[in-house]
A and B are shown apart, each in its own frame.
Chain A
């Protein structure tokens, strides 16, 4: 009897399962399929890092500590505020504690973990395994960033109920709270990008320790700086008006995102082999960043003038812009002047092919020759924009002192441009000479730039000091290469016109000699992409027949290598 019953059950099961198979997929199956598809579309690095992070002791410990600390502060903070908590606004004090609890993982632990993650890919040899897959360096870096963002989100969600509790205690308005949390998230992401850009791509104990110390310094300084700002914001509220706040948010987003794009491109470029174009992406990001900086500065001046702010109140804007331009182009220009001149067929395939394309886009072509041209051209564009801003301020009824200061600034900007031109050409020549002997990294450009700038300032000063038997002496035209002293003289409006002409001549001669040295180097010919390679790329993009279809056009399933 039992046996008959079992057989019947088995038959019923078989019928049910076959009917189930015939039935259209249930909503659960559809969700499963959708989730699988979504998972397939996600960056593989994010999937791997999330799996690793959720199992790692570091994440469990940080998450546990975060929960414990927030709970402990909720109890201890509330007890300390008793009994005023019932009738006085108590949110600021509670929120300061929650900020400190959240800031440590967001601004320190997660960026450091992202840095260590990329560094350990190099250390453990897994970066090489990744390099031979279909993942691009940009995907590797963005995957690390996405994983860090996900961890931040988890920490943020964990602390959200506590923040909501603090809000109910009154004393901090919702926009300030949103501004605070937004600032924390953006700062966390920004610091993660900075930390990733520090991760060395070559193994070496010295470089690892140096970069780790640099990252720790940046993170701790940011933790302190942002902490001060956040605590001020919590305790005293946002001092800016609604318009000013909006402008500050837009400016920080525009400049921050464009700067992050430069850092991400540079980090990806460090992971990219020399045979590929590592420069054009960075140059485009630099152009966008510069446009953002000039746009923000221009808008700040225009809105200040519209609000009838006197020129004395706006003078700091072009001044900050000029200092930023000088510093930015000294570093970025040195790196570009030290780029490898190797022009592989792969890079040449991507060069502009038309006359108009060559005319407009050659400055984006990789190489030190175009690097110097790009640096100088963009510096000139930015300097002209700064000049226009200064001119606008001068013409808007500035007083005599302001007028003199603005005129000095214009002169300083001109001098900086000329010195930069000379220094960049010198860096290019020095790195070129070093490259004759052995392969040179792009970062050597920074070292070369430091040497050139020091030599320009120290050599004439030392010679004249020796000439004067080591007694102090006045500035003279002999010091025209001494950029530090000359710029100081120009800032004090004490510079002789003859020296100005000498510096302009230095810059012009450097520029012209660079043009002569460049020759045909900036005009490499585009190479045609072989037909078979084009076919492969079409196939990869899903525009051509697959390899299996090509091997087996009739679909007989005779592909020999299939497992």
Chain B
């Protein structure tokens, strides 16, 4: 680990920020797993961390979970440095890794009980938390079953339960939906949503972008160790000056309208498909309304205008290049 000449302050005091990465770097020999990644997650927010395999998501999450040290830079959880005060960070943090570690000859209740003890929960408080976690994750019926015999979905629930056992304020979930069937995914999404409603700050990575788009307030897109974009999907779109796709249904001459549109600087890729004219429009919603008004004034008989905003998938594909380290 490189020791900075002037170490960064050990705590920060911005109360609205719960997770913060500052110029985080992590090198493994010549491989630069994480390069200059900085972002923050507001208290109670759900942040989606997206990137292809080998992009550096798990590495940065492991650093946040105090399991690895950065080569340079700092990371804070609830204001405490993951390097200098890992014990304080661990108290506030629930971590669910992508690989689920189990013990032989241990049932679900014993597994959760062990981790409750490991987090320092005692007596009735431990029992209360155990019951709540089993109830919340829907594993009450499995309490006496050995872990090794559980399905992938049940194991994921149990793993989430383990991360929640000490009632952490922050949750780091690394690919929680990987390998789950659709029903289990829906259940997991419901649980994450419920946790977010309870005020937990959640950092979640996933390959299933549609799911992330539904549950995240903001996202970070990482590729080759570099953070390419952060913010809400709309913000990223705006930052990237993304074109919105419009489909206009014209009752009059569609070719004439296409020619009219093609002359405008804000319009591109005009395609005529029978009565439908597809185009890409660069501008805000107000500009879009002005364009429709101008077309009507110009005498085009417009029956229908459909605007399709970019999905998280579209944004992801546009931001990343599909490069893998």
Contacts and interface: CB of A to CB of B under 8 A. Distances in A.
* Same assembly: yes
A344 interface: yes
A561 B91 contact: no
Interface residues of B, number: 53
A248 B186 CA distance: 68
Interface stretch (B80-88, B228-236, B242-250, B293-301): B80-88
Interface string B107-138: 00010001101111011001000001000100
Interface stretch (B64-72, B204-212, B284-292): B64-72
Interface string A122-154: 001111111111110000000000000000000
Interface in A38-64: 40, 44-45, 47-48, 51-52, 55-56
B88 A129 contact: no
B103 A52 contact: yes
Given A126-B103, A274-B1, A51 B110 contact: yes
B101 A346 contact: no
B306 to A, nearest CB: 41
14 contacts: A40-B122, A51-B106, A52-B106, A124-B103, A131-B66, A134-B119, A135-B118, A273-B66, A273-B86, A275-B83, A344-B83, A533-B80, A563-B132, A563-B198
Interface residues of A, number: 48
Interface stretch (B6-14, B49-57, B266-274): B6-14
A124 B102 contact: yes
B251 interface: no
Interface of B: 1-3, 7, 9-11, 13, 29, 65-67, 69, 79-81, 83-88, 90-91, 93, 95, 97, 99-106, 110, 114-115, 117-120, 122-123, 126, 132, 136, 162, 167, 169, 198-200
A55 B105 contact: yes
Contacts of B162: 129
A52 B118 contact: no
A132 B83 contact: no
A536 B93 CA distance: 15
Interface in A328-350: 340, 342-346, 349
A533 B100 CA distance: 32
A135 B100 CA distance: 19
A130 B29 CA distance: 27
A345 B7 contact: yes
A7 interface: no
Nearest to A524: B3
Contacts of B1: 274-275, 340, 342, 344, 439
Contacts of B117: 40, 44, 47-48
A562 interface: yes
Best-surrounded residue of A55, A132, A343, A527 (most CB of chain B within 10 A): A132
Given A125-B101, A133-B118, A530 B200 contact: no
Interface in A510-563: 527, 529-530, 532-533, 536-537, 540, 560-563
Given A48-B110, A129-B101, A342-B1, 20 more contacts: A36-B123, A37-B122, A52-B106, A55-B105, A56-B104, A126-B102, A128-B97, A128-B101, A131-B67, A132-B90, A133-B115, A133-B118, A134-B87, A275-B1, A345-B10, A346-B85, A532-B13, A532-B79, A540-B91, A563-B198
